């Protein structure tokens, strides 16, 4: 292959799937990672990174489409960053995800599970999200092929950010990710705002009344809306909220937030309940969860239940165990397993999440759960384990970066009999398993698909002390 840094390659067959949405092609034994294609496509590639053993390329054109492709179901496919794998049949998406997990455990972790269970796919591959967040913007996204001389980006729109364009938003009329009344609520608010001349957020100048819209639905039929304003105009805010409530009396928790900061996060802002309850309720098996506007909750409710069932199977509790739920978020895994053990100890860095965990434990009348706010590295020291009891089972569910090495060394030192490692990033999980495999056997592994039509995959691993 050329020694140049940047060049074009023609007629290249995309051979297989790699990870993170990237596929693999080969040229004279060199591996080329390519985004935006599927195995079986033949493409013209623009190589923009050329290293000794590998290269990275962008697609200039797909000259022959893979016979595995199917017709995407969404009008915004190719534009919106949401469901990028719609061109693949769901069964094939699952097999690529399953293969990716196995490859990464083998390649990065140098481990192979004694038993690899088949990936757990979703029964519902659309309308599966319980939460969506939309952005108001005074700048619309226009696809490059639709750009003509004189086309203006100035338009008040409400939808999703265009990938890699922080100031342009795709105006969404219908999204397949969440059930109704989500589309109806979003479209009503946009129409109301346009009719009444309300201003939409201008991200560059930090002006505009309407900023974000967050909608959450629960499987119990409850609906939460949080409308985020970028200006504090009490009269206009009250008028919009009144109009939304009159149009959608079925909203069970109607809230608004005034966010005058430069960034969109509302976690440090007060959420004001305009009508209804301050939370919605969700149910996983027999456990009820209170979800307030700022709470974290797994976004695919039915699949979260499946994930937690796998965690429970892998934990294989007999009833007497002290179980630590590390990186516990709002405590949902611990609560889900609470009936199977003697005691649950949850640790999470976000204080509000721990408050939610405690509320949820009380909501379910649990007396064997104890939650602690703080960094696992600081909290989980010798004293902590002496005080709360030697762990029989530890569940770890860290963020994408994986576990801190210090925590892994602590678990090795404690010789915890069983660890169940839940991960949303099999690459960092594999890295951590490489360290744990010094003293642990990877007995089971099962991938779970929480997000159909995306390349994201969750993986659960059971480790037993050798």
Ligand X SMILES: C[S@@+](CC[C@H](N)C(=O)[O-])C[C@H]1O[C@@H](n2cnc3c(N)ncnc32)[C@H](O)[C@@H]1O
Cβ closer to ligand X: 301 or 330? 330
Asked whether position 457 contacts ligand X by CB under 6 A, the answer is no
Which stretches of 317-423 are assigned E, i.e. beta strand? 322-326, 343-348, 369-373, 393-396, 418-423
Closest CA to 455 of 433, 430, 424, 428: 424
Stretch of 32-40, 95-103, 341-349, 452-460 lying at the interface with ligand X (CB under 6 A): 341-349
Asked whether position 76 contacts ligand X by CB under 6 A, the answer is no
CB of 326 to ligand X, least distance (A): 7
Task: Using CB under 6 A, pick the residue from 82, 159, 208, 329 that binds ligand X.
Answer: 329
> Tokens in use for 58?
């962008």
Asked whether position 458 contacts ligand X by CB under 6 A, the answer is no
Stretch of 37-45, 245-253, 324-332, 430-438 lying at the interface with ligand X (CB under 6 A): 324-332
Task: Using CB under 6 A, pick the residue from 333, 403, 442, 463 that binds ligand X.
Answer: 333
- Closest CB to ligand X: residue number: 329
Asked whether position 376 contacts ligand X by CB under 6 A, the answer is yes
CB atoms closer than 10 angstroms to residue 441: 15
Q: What residues are paired with 135 via a beta bridge?
A: 159, 212
Instruction: Report the distance separating Cα 71 and Cα 87, nearest Å.
Output: 6
Which stretches of 307-398 are assigned E, i.e. beta strand? 322-326, 343-348, 369-373, 393-396
Asked whether position 349 contacts ligand X by CB under 6 A, the answer is yes
Asked whether position 285 contacts ligand X by CB under 6 A, the answer is no
Asked whether position 413 contacts ligand X by CB under 6 A, the answer is no
Asked whether position 279 contacts ligand X by CB under 6 A, the answer is no
> Tokens in use for 303?
């699949």
Instruction: Report the distance separating Cα 109 and Cα 311, nearest Å.
Output: 21
> Tokens in use for 436?
């744990």
Asked whether position 408 contacts ligand X by CB under 6 A, the answer is no
CB of 157 to ligand X, least distance (A): 32
CB of 331 to ligand X, least distance (A): 8
Stretch of 20-28, 112-120, 128-136, 327-335 lying at the interface with ligand X (CB under 6 A): 327-335
For residue 437, what are the CA distances in angstroms to 402, 403, 412, 459? 16, 14, 10, 17
- Which position has the token pair 């991200």? 203
Asked whether position 345 contacts ligand X by CB under 6 A, the answer is no
Half-sphere exposure of 265 (CA within 13 A, CB side): 3
Q: What residues are paired with 52 via a beta bridge?
A: none
Task: Using CB under 6 A, pick the residue from 345, 353, 393, 396 that binds ligand X.
Answer: 353
Cβ closer to ligand X: 14 or 424? 424
CB of 129 to ligand X, least distance (A): 15
Cβ closer to ligand X: 259 or 298? 298
Task: List the catalytic residue out of 83, 122, 175, 424.
Answer: 424
Task: Using CB under 6 A, pick the residue from 86, 218, 253, 332 that binds ligand X.
Answer: 332
| Residue 162, Cβ density class (10 Å: 0-12 exposed, 13-18 middle, ≥19 buried) | buried
Cβ closer to ligand X: 226 or 298? 298
Task: Using CB under 6 A, pick the residue from 57, 203, 213, 350 that binds ligand X.
Answer: 350
Residue 424 is a catalytic residue: yes
> Tokens in use for 245?
């409530």
Instruction: Report the distance separating Cα 292 and Cα 290, nearest Å.
Output: 6
Task: Using CB under 6 A, pick the residue from 75, 351, 375, 405 that binds ligand X.
Answer: 375
Asked whether position 428 contacts ligand X by CB under 6 A, the answer is no
For residue 382, what are the CA distances in angstroms to 379, 388, 391, 395? 9, 10, 12, 18
Asked whether position 348 contacts ligand X by CB under 6 A, the answer is yes
Cβ closer to ligand X: 79 or 412? 412
Closest CA to 340 of 320, 358, 364, 326: 320
Cβ closer to ligand X: 398 or 426? 398
Asked whether position 187 contacts ligand X by CB under 6 A, the answer is no
CB of 376 to ligand X, least distance (A): 4
Sheet holding 322-326, edge to edge: 115-120, 440-448, 458-465, 418-423, 393-396, 322-326, 343-348, 369-373
Contact 441, 463 (CB under 8 A): yes
Asked whether position 101 contacts ligand X by CB under 6 A, the answer is no
Instruction: Report the distance separating Cα 256 and Cα 293, nearest Å.
Output: 10
Asked whether position 299 contacts ligand X by CB under 6 A, the answer is no
Contact 339, 365 (CB under 8 A): no
Cβ closer to ligand X: 254 or 427? 427
Task: Using CB under 6 A, pick the residue from 231, 397, 432, 449 that binds ligand X.
Answer: 397
DSSP 27: E
Cβ closer to ligand X: 306 or 348? 348
* Interacting residues toward ligand X by CB under 6 A: 296, 298, 327-330, 332-333, 347-350, 353, 375-377, 397-399, 424
Which amino acids are annotated catalytic? Answer: 424
């Amino acid at each position: 292959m050329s020694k140049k840094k940047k060049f074009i390659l023609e007629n290249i067959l995309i051979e297989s799937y790699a990870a993170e949405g990237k596929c693999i092609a080969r040229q004279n034994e060199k591996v080329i990672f390519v985004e935006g294609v599927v195995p079986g496509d033949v493409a013209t590639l623009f190589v923009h990174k050329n290293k000794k053993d590998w290269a990275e390329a962008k697609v200039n054109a797909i000259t022959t489409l893979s016979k595995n492709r199917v017709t995407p179901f969404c009008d915004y496919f190719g534009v919106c960053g949401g469901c990028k794998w719609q061109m693949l049949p769901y069964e094939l998406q699952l097999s690529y995800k399953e293969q990716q997990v196995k490859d990464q455990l083998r390649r990065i972790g140098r481990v192979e599970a004694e038993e690899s269970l088949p990936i757990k796919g979703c029964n519902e591959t659309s309308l599966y999200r319980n939460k969506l967040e939309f952005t108001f913007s005074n700048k619309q996204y226009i696809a490059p092929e639709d750009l003509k001389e004189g086309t203006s980006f100035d338009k008040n729109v409400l939808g999703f950010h265009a990938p890699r364009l922080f100031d342009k938003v795709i105006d969404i009329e219908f999204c397949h990710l969440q059930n109704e009344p989500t589309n109806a609520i979003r479209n009503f608010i946009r129409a109301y705002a346009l009719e009444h001349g309300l201003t939409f957020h201008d991200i560059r100048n930090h002006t505009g009344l309407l900023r974000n819209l967050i909608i959450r639905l629960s499987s119990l039929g409850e609906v939460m809306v949080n409308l985020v304003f970028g200006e504090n105009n009490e009269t206009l805010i009250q008028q919009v909220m009144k109009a939304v409530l009159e149009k959608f009396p079925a909203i069970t928790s109607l809230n608004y937030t005034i966010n005058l900061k430069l960034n969109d996060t509302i976690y440090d802002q007060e959420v004001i309940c305009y009508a209804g309850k301050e939370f919605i309720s969700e149910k996983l098996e027999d456990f009820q969860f209170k979800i307030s506007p700022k709470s974290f909750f797994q976004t695919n409710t039915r699949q979260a239940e499946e994930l937690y069932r796998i965690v429970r199977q892998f934990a294989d509790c007999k009833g007497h165990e002290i179980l630590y739920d590390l990186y516990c978020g709002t405590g949902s895994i611990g609560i889900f397993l609470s009936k199977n053990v003697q005691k649950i100890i949850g640790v999470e860095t976000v204080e509000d999440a721990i408050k939610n965990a405690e509320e949820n434990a009380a909501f379910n009348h649990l007396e064997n759960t104890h939650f602690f706010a703080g960094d696992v590295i600081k909290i989980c020291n010798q004293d902590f384990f002496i005080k709360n009891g030697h762990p029989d089972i530890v569940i770890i569910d860290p963020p994408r970066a994986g576990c801190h090495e210090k925590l892994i060394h602590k678990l090795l030192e404690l010789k915890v009999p069983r660890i169940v490692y839940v991960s949303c990033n099999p690459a960092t999980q594999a890295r951590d398993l490489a360290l744990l495999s010094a003293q642990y056997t990877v007995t089971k592994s099962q991938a779970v698909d929480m997000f159909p039509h995306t390349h994201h995959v969750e993986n659960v691993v059971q480790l037993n002390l050798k």
